[in-house]
Amino acid sequence: MEERSTVRLGEVITVVNGKNQKAVENPNGRYPIYGSGGIMGRADDYLCGPDTVIIGRKGNINTPIYVTEPFWNVDTAFGLVCDQSQLLPRYLYHFCRFFDFECLNSTVTIPSLTKKNLEKVEIPLPHVNEQNNIVRLLDGIQAQIAISKQMLAKADELIQSRFVEMFGDVRDIDKTVPWHRIDEIASTRLGKMLDRKKQTGNWNRKYLGNHNVQWFKFDLSSLAEMDFAPEDQREFELRAGDILMCEGGEVGRCAIWRGQVAECYFQKALHRIRCDSQIVIPDYLVWVFKMMADAGLLVEHTHAVTIAHLPGVRLKALKVPVPSLTLQNEFAEFVTSVESLKSTTQQQLDRLNTLYASLTQRYFVL
């Protein structure tokens, strides 16, 4: 790679201030209207030409958008128009994805950028031929990242389609399939209340909180600890096959514990659901919860003042369809095969993200 010069953005771009869109707004307008978060309408006129990078002036200041057509930008978004004899727009876009604009934030409330500070940002500036080589490489990786993300999304859609194919819509499952209350097919338990005043440090153990539980997986990067005395350890232990469900927030979000951490417990914000293996298997039940949550059926069972909650009593009374174990196991085998594909795809996505980050570090660090 050739030696690069460094310039300030103000030397190679024109910053186009956004304007109020009321005078040009038209639902059937030819041009999109952009704010810092994306398209927010249509307009009859434009401020910026094609191949322009958008950076938020207020609010979302760290997520650049590349626009390939003329557009109108509102007053919360800057349009960065390149002098293309010196700076390629896609090169600028990748630089903006790399650069942390939060370091230029000029307020303590809503994140904000000023035109003056933006124009002072320094950018490595190799010859346009070298810029083009860099763009082709980074664009290629970005395209592969997009494909991997699409594959992951399609995998979940595939499982949902298989569920409907085998069992029907959870809002109208064939009445020949028996429905049971949760307390008829599983034992449930809310987690341990965290009382900081009673913490001694003598029985510190790792535990799961609401934020650790995602759909079908756990975020174990930051496990907190609190006292679990011997009697609490027996009461709040986790076993392989337990379902952990969020009691509040995104009600119903759940995952199956596989013993990822040797000794782990759970906090009050979570329900532990331990299935009766003679009636229902967790690999089927978590997808029932997912389908019911997506259909809005769990909301009917919540208690909401400001934030929705699913109390233990209401969870126990929740009725779910329970087909034969043969069908449940057939569905679980299908899920396992798709999850294997997802795991491979996720590993590929992780490698691509790491490669992209490594290359942008190489090209854009001053």
User: What rounded mean pLDDT belongs to the chain?
Assistant: 92
pLDDT at 220: 94
pLDDT at 366: 83
The first and second tokens of residue 288, run together, are 């029932």
Q: Which residue has the higher pLDDT, 1 or 36?
A: 36
The first and second tokens of residue 142, run together, are 């970005």
Q: What is the rounded average pLDDT of the residues 242-246?
A: 97
pLDDT at 172: 80
Same fold, 5-126 and 178-322: yes
Task: Record the pTM.
Answer: 0.78
Give the list of residues 6+ apart from residue 49 with CB closer than 8 angstroms, or none.
70, 81
When pLDDT is cut at 50, 70 and 90, the band that residue 1 belongs to is very low
pLDDT tens digit string along 345-362? Answer: 999 999 999 999 999 999
Cα atoms in the 13 Å half-sphere on the side-chain side of 97: 20
Would the pLDDT of 105 be above 80? Answer: yes
Q: What is the DSSP string of 190-211?
A: E-B---GGG--STTEEEEE-GG
pLDDT tens digit string along 84-97? Answer: 999 999 999 999 99
Would the pLDDT of 66 be above 80? Answer: yes
Domain ranges of the chain: 5-126, 129-154+325-366, 178-322
**What is the percent of the chain with per-residue pLDDT over 90, rounded to a whole number?**
80
The first and second tokens of residue 289, run together, are 């919860």
CATH superfamily of 5-126: DNA methylase specificity domains (3.90.220.20)
Would the pLDDT of 8 be above 60? Answer: yes
The first and second tokens of residue 237, run together, are 């232990």
What's the CATH number for 178-322?
3.90.220.20
pLDDT at 9: 98
Q: What is the rounded average pLDDT of the residues 207-230?
A: 92
Distances (CA, A) of 342 to 212, 216, 346: 20, 12, 6
**Residues 22, 27, 33, CA angle at the centre, nearest 5°?**
60
Residue 158 CB-density burial (10 A; 0-12 exposed, 13-18 middle, 19+ buried): middle
CA gap 278, 77 in Å, rounded? 58
Q: What is the rounded average pLDDT of the residues 50-66?
A: 95
3-state secondary structure of 245: strand
pLDDT tens digit string along 144-196? Answer: 999 999 999 999 899 999 999 999 888 887 777 899 999 999 999 999 887 76
pLDDT at 302: 60
Would the pLDDT of 49 be above 50? Answer: yes
pLDDT at 187: 97
pLDDT tens digit string along 266-318? Answer: 998 999 999 999 999 999 999 999 999 999 888 765 655 555 788 999 999 99
Q: What is the rounded average pLDDT of the residues 245-250?
A: 91
pLDDT tens digit string along 14-25? Answer: 999 999 999 999
The first and second tokens of residue 89, run together, are 């727009």
Instruction: Name the strand (E) or helix (H) holding 103.
Output: none
pLDDT at 283: 97
**Axis-axis angle for helices 282-294, 128-167 (nearest 10):** 100
Looking at residue 175, its amino acid is K
